[in-house]
Structure 1
């Protein structure tokens, strides 16, 4: 290693950019190989979109770190997520390798087999000091996490909090969780656009995506029209295997989701107006629409499945009371607004807000993303917690500016 990391003129391992470029070339020329791995857990559309997003993000990697100029660190430990495994590999491993000397990660048990396949192929290409540790969580905590300058955790808030308790003052701890990501459809909304977009987001990877909306809040004056339009469009959707390019939705990969949603449907059957069927043999879950009024207080779940939870609200006051409640505030990440643009400023205070477009349309891997809810994402350093949209390179630059390693 010859890079002088102690000067502001050179804050990254610039020689590693060639490895990033090799990965871009590999993903472009060996797309079918990567697709065959991702298709084990993702639909055809989702897998292809993930490859495209990964390539685009890696192409912007050097520009990103040159923009934020993070101080180079010695080590990083990463708890990888159970979905979007290629995109996560880029965000949490490849790009940070430009400013972190060595990175160790532990795959989620749900997808460890496929993460290992992916890592083995990419490792041959990039040859970077990124290691896949096939150890227990306890061993990973003891041997990697406790020694790391930076720790990244993706998963549930409850698990994140358990790990946070073990962080020292000097460690930078970054948590990526999930939010409710409400769709809000006002009385003046373009209903066809809203219906198309909510179907696109809720059925992305058959609903197995953290950006999917867990509630669709629809003004009561247009709720009936929207419900009927959504029914018409959902009825036309087709089921198919993960390698079927024409399928609108595919088998559910995560078996615990099937069990959890079966119980949820059974407990809330009176609100189901379409679907509700689950075939445990084929892992097919019918796109399901639940319809209720705000006053019914239907339980909100992180559905992670093709479920449309449509809730009508009477007026802005009741809507904003719900959005401002502790339950929603703690889980504030993204929000998509259709019509009612007078609410923009209020909604932006806590969310990454999109107007007449989806979170998928605006999410870009080289820019900070997330919300201001502590259960959605946060940064923990020197015993202080900050919740805001996160980009790892920017966070490292902000919190570890004085902790540059010398080589």
Structure 2
């Protein structure tokens, strides 16, 4: 990776900002450096076949965690790239797969098969890794063997809480880092910000001042933070959301669908139990005012949020002391990106965010591939799908 980093970053910046591509590279190297200790800790079984659905973002890092490290204990890994970014994945594979082969590790095979044919070829695999919509993952789980262990990596809203005792400077700095990672195109980006009403004006003003300094730039510029988006549906979704809530827009709010640009935008509303933040995949800041931390707990324990609980960043809110709120793991005074570790389990306790499916049952929990196939595998009994299972796991 280090020797060919220019080629890798050149490929990644077709769909990612230079900054996030560089971050992916360094996170991938760090994960490879820790792989020896990860495998010693989890002692994964030798697998004959692992099927992998690669996502359409974080390509190098996903390839590292789902293909390169598993190649140390899998005889064959069949990889289906997302059709949206097939060319980028093919380039990454062409650079890295031969190194794995030369060192006598597992065989990495990139397929161009349709999803239906790929599922059929992996129907008797030891395991399948799926990244994407939960409903699609369930459909795949119904088509593979009951003995096949399906690991489903999804997403969640990852709310960012700014409490009454938070430093506005520190909170806004970290909020910008996390919301604007790859111009907002990452499942770890926070899709909602819950700000105590006493701090709302200060935080929104400070956030707007900082956003006003950020231009829309070319994604290959190492200094770029906001760039044209990659996916048409993300642009269209942001445009529809901003149009629908035009009276709540405090900053930005402009979208150029043809140029795929979404201006950094702040939408301010009140937090209410029925709020269901979409996955924006764009630089939209949905700021929700709250008066009491109990409102956050009430929101997080609604059935819909229990199902997709992943992470929650909490700054300066003394009433939120639990390590898990609803089914979301708390990141105390730090972002989701700060705690992400490629050699440790990823995700929360919401079934839509991260779950294991096997024998028609599921367990919702943070996932690490080697741990799920390890002799020291998490000992929780697989539970029937539903929010009750998620709450019990939490």
Shared fold per TM-score greater than 0.5: yes
Q: Tell whether the 8 Å contact from 1:173 to 1:380 is kept in structure 2 after alignment.
A: yes
Work out the CA distance in 2 between the residues paired with 1:179 and 1:76: 25
Structure-2 residue corresponding to 1:363: 340
Counterpart in the other structure of 2:113: 135
- Name the counterpart of 2:165: 188
In 2, are the aligned partners of 1:75 and 1:100 still within 8 Å (CA)?
yes
Displacement after TM superposition at 1:354 (Å): 1.1
Report the counterpart of residue 103 of structure 1 in structure 2. Answer: 77
Aligned runs of 1:130-169 on 2, under 5 Å?
130-143=108-121, 145-169=122-146
TM-score of the aligned structures, taking structure 2 as reference length: 0.91
Distance 1:317 1:346, change over 3 A: farther
Aligned to 1:83: 57
Alignment root-mean-square deviation, CA: 1.7
Shift of 1:165: 1.4
Q: Deviations over 1:103-135 (max 9, x none)?
A: 101000111111011111212322240100011
Q: Where does 1:223-262 land on structure 2 (aligned, <5 Å)?
A: 223-262=200-239
Give the corresponding residue for 1:327.
304
| Superposed CA offset, 1:245-296 (max 9, x none) | 1222111011111112211211111111111112233322101110001249
Other-structure match for 1:58: 32
Q: Is the 1:71–1:400 Cα contact (8 Å) retained in structure 2?
A: no
The whole-number CA distance in structure 2 between the counterparts of 1:238 and 1:40 is 19
Deviation at 1:211, TM superposition (A): 0.2
**Aligned equivalent of 1:311, options 284, 288, 296:** 288
CA deviations 1:169-202 (Å, max 9, x no partner) are 2111100000110111111111111111111111
Q: Give the Å deviation of 1:244.
A: 0.7
Cα distance in structure 2, aligned partners of 1:278 and 1:398 = 51
Matched, 1:277 2:251: no
Structure 1 residue 381, shift from structure 2 partner: 1.9
Conserved 8 A contact 2:273-2:298:
no
Please, which moves more after superposition, 229-238 or 35-44? Answer: 229-238
Give the number of the structure with larger relative contact order, counting CA–CA contacts within 8 Å between residues 6 or more apart.
1
Match status 1:30 vs 2:4: yes
CA gap of 1:398–1:254, structure 2 versus 1, over 3 A, is farther
Residue aligned with 1:378, SS:
strand
The number of equivalent residue pairs is: 374
Give the secondary-structure state (helix, strand or coil) at the position aligned to 1:77: strand
1:139-166 deviation digits (Å, cap 9, x = unpaired): 11112x2021101100011111111112
Please give the alpha-carbon distance, in whole angstroms, between the structure 2 residues aligned to 1:293 and 1:400: 42
Could you give the per-residue CA deviations for residues 300-320 of structure 1, whole angstroms, max 9, x where no partner exists?
A: 211011010000011122221
Equivalent of 1:41 in 2, 12, 15: 15
Larger C-alpha radius of gyration, 1 or 2? 1
User: C-alpha separation between the residues in 1 aligned to 2:328 and 2:195?
Assistant: 18
Query: CA 1:108–1:60 in structure 2 vs 1: closer, same or farther (change >3 Å)?
Result: same
Give runs of aligned pairs for residues 385-396 of structure 1, distance below 5 A.
385-396=362-373
Whether the 8 Å contact between 1:352 and 1:371 is mirrored in structure 2 is yes
